[in-house]
Structure 1
Amino acid sequence: MFKTTVGRFCFIGNIEGISYLLLLCVAMPLKYWADMPIYVAIVGALHGLLFTLYLLALLHVWIDRRWSFIRVVIAFVASLVPLGTFFLDAKLRKEASRS
């Protein structure tokens, strides 16, 4: 998994996706329904770091694997959509198994 740039990218994408879901489904409700904004600050900072790592890993894959610009845009948009990174990971794993 960590031996290829795509494997590292998928791993970071999954962790980033989990942090995004935690932010949306746990921290934000706690902020607005339980008046506990500290969790948004903590999870939001962690998610920001992981999102940055995701973008760096995407750049690395783009350069290493010579992905098309459209594919890079799709991977970027997947990071903005809840559960998008998980669907992208599944697609990339399916492609890797065919190779």
Structure 2
Amino acid sequence: MTKIFKIVALLEGVSYLLLFSNMLFIKHNNPELYHTLLFPIGMAHGVLFMGYIILAFMLRSEEKWDNRKFIEICAASVIPFGTFYIDRKYFRNA
């Protein structure tokens, strides 16, 4: 289960960065491309975000995380590069 969580965390972090780059850079330079990419990237990110949170809840009991660690792992999903930090901090050897 930890390996699946690592993969979802990586994909969620990448989709978050793609969504931000689409919003920040492409929107002003190419509005047509922005609207073309917004829905698929946003949908993928939303699904991966929900998967990340659900897997975090499932791993919480399996790995016996305390509240602080669990909240830190969940909060990392809303911070750019947060999932990469969590992967490096807690799941480096998993």
TM-score normalized by the length of structure 1 = 0.82
CA deviation after TM superposition for structure 1 residue 41, in Å? 1.2
Please give the per-residue CA displacement for 1:56-76, whole angstroms capped at 9, x wherever unaligned.
110110121121111111011
**1:41 maps to which of 39, 42, 61:** 39
SS in 2 for 1:67: coil
CA RMSD of aligned residues (A): 1.5
SS in 1 for 2:31: coil
List runs of 5+ in structure 2 lacking aligned partners. Answer: none
**1:75 maps to which of 52, 73, 77:** 73
> How many percent of aligned residue pairs carry the same amino acid?
27
**What does residue 88 of structure 1 align with?**
86
CA deviation after TM superposition for structure 1 residue 38, in Å? 2.2
Is contact 1:78-1:85 (8 Å) kept?
yes
**What does residue 62 of structure 2 align with?**
64
The alignment covers a number of residue pairs equal to 91
Distance 1:35 1:22 in 2: 16
Is contact 1:17-1:79 (8 Å) kept?
yes
CA deviation after TM superposition for structure 1 residue 79, in Å? 0.6
**What does residue 7 of structure 1 align with?**
3
Is 1:21 the counterpart of 2:13? The answer is: no
TM-score normalized by the length of structure 2 = 0.86
Distance 2:56 2:28 in 1: 33
Distance 1:30 1:39 in 2: 9
Is contact 1:31-1:38 (8 Å) kept?
no
List runs of 5+ in structure 1 lacking aligned partners. Answer: none
